[in-house]
Amino acid sequence: MPLYDNPVLPGLHPDPSVCRVGEDYYLVCSSFEYFPGVPVFHSRDLVHWRQIGNALDRPGQLPIPADAAASGGIYAPTIRHHDGRFWLITTNVHRGNFVVTAEDPAGPWSDPVWLDLPGIDPDLVWDDEGNCWCALSGTRLARIDPEAGTVLEGPHTLWAGSGMQYPEAPHLYRIDDWWYLLIAEGGTERGHGVSVARSRDLRGPYEPAPHNPILSHRSTDRPIQSTGHADLVRAPDGSWWMVLLGTRPQGHTPRFHVLGRETFLAPVRWVDGWPVVDPVEPRSEASPGWSPVDAPPPRDDFDRATLAPAWISPRSRPEGSWSLTERPGWLTLHATGDTLDRPGHTFVGRRQQHPDCRITARLDPGTARAGLSVRLDEAHHYDLEVADGLARVVARIGPVRQCVAEVPVPAGPVELTVDVRTTDVLPPTVTSAKQAAERPPGVGATGPDTLGFLVATGSGDPVTLAELDGRYLSTEVATGFTGRVVGMYVTEGTAAFDWYDYRPTGGNR
């Protein structure tokens, strides 16, 4: 195992589940309202991850209502390998739980087999007799036929947890002569934690670990918070590892996390028959400081036959809304809705994965209204758009929508840039009455970051139109389960994008 930095999958990659087949690891995450759904990653060392596809990449696999609220969609997948096939079970909160299978985890994956089992966070496990069992939130267990989608027994309640709210995210493991039940509890916010119980019989009764929760960062000053929703995997050398979600809040209290819940890695050791996990650190001792994730190439010139798997769109991506062939070497977008403030718009984006980063896209707007948007949901986004000979910055924060700045631009392609940089953790110290008088009340570098919006034409250097406080594009303000996605959009007519460039800056992961 090489030294590594955490998170191993930065950005919006929550609820990780992992399995190993020989020397290869495969990991999946929740995708919520985004299409395609359930990103699938491959690794040989649990540190370097490369996205190899999306399990739900056909509209028929992912029925999400056109007007579904943000943070709906797909919750908490589990991936397992059994009898020569990959099995994935997850929840579509608009319809229920379902199973898809594949011979190759890169796809294609099957159409869904729906289960008549209420709940979320489903898990799959097979006993020694070959029976398939599904565990769900509330730590309930049912025997199922995953091929037919029928429930054969149960569900039975296994264990109510250690008394904290929301016992969920169950995973069952057969280790030696014990069945271990790993759960999350305490809620997915700052009180999140991981607990475990064990039994000689799959059906129970389950004995809780004497030191539950075995992992939680609640009420600490650690930079990684909300640690929970974990899965275990055993490496070929016999060592055990845990993947889990966490957040990296920044700024002044209550602190804000803007990238969503991310995937972290922690070693596990066994003491007296129980798993023990040390606090999750952002960086291993003597780590060289490189970014472990095998991220998509920093620049996409849209010269492939298909969009790379990292590109996502809210709810759906109708075939008529985009094209890579209509103007070769460009991504052409056609408007399907007239605003980003409601579902149904044309948007193609990538997860923001670094606290400090710079995203630039080259746009030929023609006569369209199009641009680059930093999106959390329909009510929380900042847009840098071009229309009618003007480049403007528009902020949508809750019920308020405002044009913050605008500048004329000539006809033809322009380069649009979003520059994200972290700000001071605490407000600036006021050392004199003069400083206090010069600073408006309540104004200071107290948010998690600052977003700068720049525009450049072929005739000059980039011009900064506006700089906005990033706290309003955080989960603490917007609520929900997702993180920022930075994407290209069009809300009127047809526009084309020559390239999109995403680069971390400032040496900050």
Q: How far is CA 296 from CA 82, 106, 304, 437, in A?
A: 30, 16, 13, 47
Q: Which of 168, 262, 300, 385 is catalytic?
A: 168
Contacts of 421 (CB under 8 A, 6+ apart): 356, 449, 450, 452, 505, 506
Structure tokens at 433: 């009455």
DSSP readout, 74-128?
EEEEEEEEETTEEEEEEEETTTEEEEEEESSTTSPPPPPEEE----SS-EEEE-T
* Number of residues that make up the chain: 509
At residue 354, the 3 state secondary structure works out as coil
Spatial distance between the Cα atoms of 386 and 453, rounded to a whole number of angstroms: 12
Contacts of 438 (CB under 8 A, 6+ apart): none
Spatial distance between the Cα atoms of 206 and 56, rounded to a whole number of angstroms: 35
With CA atoms as reference, report the closest residue to 483 among 120, 56, 14: 14
Spatial distance between the Cα atoms of 380 and 401, rounded to a whole number of angstroms: 9
Cβ neighbours around 273 below 10 Å, total: 12
Is 356 an active-site residue?
no
Residues 155-184 as b/e (b if ≥16 CB within 10 A, e otherwise) read beebbebbebebbbbbbbbeeeeebbbbbb
Structure tokens at 248: 């990296």
Backbone angles phi, psi at 376, to 5 degrees: -110, -45
Count of alpha carbons within 13 Å of 154, Cβ hemisphere only?
21
Fill in the DSSP letter of residue 292.
-
Spatial distance between the Cα atoms of 32 and 38, rounded to a whole number of angstroms: 8
Is 15 an active-site residue?
yes
Full 3-state SS string of 221-277:
CCCCEEEEEEEEEECCCCCEEEEEEEECCECCCCCECCCCCEEEEEEEEEECCEEEE
Contacts of 126 (CB under 8 A, 6+ apart): 82, 132, 133
Residues noted as catalytic = 15, 168
